[in-house]
Amino acid sequence: FVEDLTNRLEAEAREYIATIDSMGGALAAIEKGFQQKEIQEAAYRYQMQVENKERIIVGVNEFVVAEEEQPEILRVDPAIGQRQIEKLRRLRATRDNAAVERMLDRIEQAARGTENLVPIMIEAVENRVTLGEISHRLRKVWGEQREPVFI
Express each pLDDT in 19-35 by its tens digit. Answer: 999 999 999 999 999 99
Mean pLDDT of the chain: 94
DSSP 25: S
Contact, 107 vs 117, CB < 8 A? yes
pLDDT for 151 equals: 67
Alpha-carbon distance 114 to 96, whole Å? 28
The verdict on pTM exceeding 0.85 is no
* Among the listed residues 104, 98, 96, the one whose alpha carbon sits nearest the alpha carbon of residue 124: 104
* Residue 147 in this model has a pLDDT that exceeds 80: no
Which pLDDT tens digit goes with each residue over 100-112? 999 999 999 999 9
State the average pLDDT over residues 41-60: 95
The rounded distance, in Å, linking the Cα atoms of 57 and 54 is 10
Q: How confident is the model at residue 69 (pLDDT cuts 50, 70, 90)?
A: confident
The better pLDDT of the pair 129, 71 is held by 129
CB burial string 72-99: b at 16+ within 10 A, e below: eeeeeeeeeeeeeeeeeeeeeeeeeeee
pLDDT reported for residue 17: 97
Q: Does 70 score more than 90 pLDDT?
A: no
